[in-house]
Amino acid sequence: MPENQNRNEDVFAKYSAMSTAQLQQILREDASKPEGQEETSAEALLYIMEVLAQRRRARNEGKTPEEALEEFHKYYENNDVSIQIERKPDHRKKISASPRWVKRLAAAAAVVVLIFSISFTAEAFGVHIGKRIINWTRDTFSFGKMEEDLKDVPAKTDPAVFQGLREALDAYDMTDCPIPSWLPEGYTEHSVKAANTSVQRMIIARYRCEDGDIVIWIADHLEESPTYIEQSEGHAEIYEVAGVPYYIFRDNRNLNAAWIYGSYECCISGPLSIEQIKFMIDSIRKG
Amino acid sequence: MKAQYKSEIKRLYLNMYAFLFEYARSTLPTDALAEEAVQDTFQIACQKPEAVLSSPNPEGWIVKTLKNVLRNTVKEQNTSRRILLNYFASNIDDITVTEDRVKLEILYENVADLEEFKLIKAMALEGKSYLEISRELGISLAACRKRMQRAREKLRKKMKI
């Protein structure tokens, strides 16, 4: 009906003015909502999808439906998908972290792991910070893309290995990322490693003493994508400093603080007390 | 599948593919994974044509199925990444910076040569779809899915997680 169509276009015209990233965010949020709790109407979602599809066609990207259908007939139609599509996520089911997989890399491996480019999880309450989302769930997972190159590795004394976290950040053009300038007594720098992939840059600094390791992990996205920091268990305390919320939570033996600063996703993890981690947070500043 | 069902599913496919792709792409990190999610959705629709076509809202049925596909895809990726992360975590000291500072070098130990490790890495870290991986390996899509499932189980047992 033309009248209804015109009214819809007026109502949804705001979406046409939004950026692609904003529209994708709306779709992503819809996908993350349990059935019946979606906030965006089906008509609005269809409008958004159409806008995005038109933009993609204008860029001459992606397959046409006919091309995709051909691929479907060739590869998918007669193959068993073998995925349990009918099983919906159980929002009340606790996925307990196996204590056996708590590893030395406290910042990410055992407790807090950054997920890149995955937009939703089954059980979460979210705090939105621009395009980045920090969600607490009971599941954990890992980094984004990594590239490998099995060349010879330089020795630790080689000048290519960074002497400090600040130097590594500067070398990877992450100069505007503030870092802690305080560590508990007894910790010395053990290593600073860097990784650069097609979608992110990542710096991992490890400080060691008898009690264990403190790891500071900073990652930067090179393209826009949603990000989640997830914990395996434990209560989260939000400690706000200079308008930046720091999410503090414990998992097994480590205390962790995770936060987002601009495009940077950051994490501290180690055998720290709440006071120590707050001192570290308080000391965060540039340069 | 009856010809009538085929015709209807095809109509739904051609009308909805572009929209569903955008929906999937907003959630998944690569075009390949998003395409595969849509293909999987319609594969399920082909398995249950009566359920789709007798629904008062076939388009809604398709979208709902896609949502479930996306959830499962994310779960699979999460599981795979967790398996890999456990390995990386226990070997983090081996990660070093190369001379040109632009590549991550990981010194694999006893899992480096495992086919399973490479499979999981391709999906979990490189965002490749089953179809892409199956083409690289020269195997069928179904075989690839099964191989991935076995790979996860094997590495999970090996790393005791």
Residue B108: pLDDT band (50, 70, 90) is very low
Residues A89, B71 contacting (CB under 8 angstroms): yes
The tens digit of pLDDT for each residue in A45-69 reads: 889 999 999 999 999 999 999 999 9
Residues A172, A201 contacting (CB under 8 angstroms): yes
Q: Decide if A88 is inside a domain.
A: no
CB-based contact A72 B92, cutoff 8 Å:
no
Q: Decide if A90 is inside a domain.
A: no
Chain length of chain A: 287
User: Domain span at residue A117?
Assistant: 99-282
One-letter identity of residue B124: A
Shared-domain flag, residues A224 and A106: yes
Shared-domain flag, residues A157 and A193: yes
User: What residues contact residue A9 under an 8 Å CB cut-off, 6+ apart?
Assistant: none
CB-based contact A110 B145, cutoff 8 Å:
no
Name the packing angle between helices B31-47 and B58-90 (round to 10°).
130
CB-based contact B85 A109, cutoff 8 Å:
yes
**Which A residues, 115 through 144, put their C-beta within 8 Å of a C-beta on chain B?**
115-122, 139-144
Shared-domain flag, residues A104 and A70: no
The tens digit of pLDDT for each residue in A200-216 reads: 677 888 888 887 889 88
Rounded Cα distance, B43 and A42, in Å: 23
Residues B67, A31 contacting (CB under 8 angstroms): yes
Q: Decide if A200 is inside a domain.
A: yes
**Which of A45, A76, A107 is at the close of a domain?**
A76
Rounded Cα distance, A214 and A206, in Å: 6
pLDDT attached to residue B118: 77
Shared-domain flag, residues A125 and A248: yes
Shared-domain flag, residues A218 and A150: yes
pLDDT attached to residue A5: 54
User: What residues contact residue A212 under an 8 Å CB cut-off, 6+ apart?
Assistant: A106, A253, A270, A271
Helix, strand, coil in percent for chain B, rounding step 5: 75, 0, 25
SS (H, E, C) A87-152: CCCCCCCCCCCCHHHCCCCHHHHHCCEEEECCCCCCCCEEEEECCEEEEECCCCCCCCCCCECCCC
User: Domain span at residue B153?
Assistant: 3-158
Shared-domain flag, residues A174 and A215: yes
pLDDT attached to residue B40: 94
Shared-domain flag, residues A18 and A109: no
Q: How far is A272 from chain B (nearest CA, A)?
A: 19
**Token pair for A235:** 């209560």
Shared-domain flag, residues A37 and A172: no
Alpha carbon of residue A113 to chain centroid: 8
Domain count within chain B: 1
Nearest to B43 among A46, A79, A197 (CB): A79
**Token pair for A90:** 């159980």
pLDDT attached to residue B159: 61
CATH number for the domain spanning A146: value is 3.30.200.100
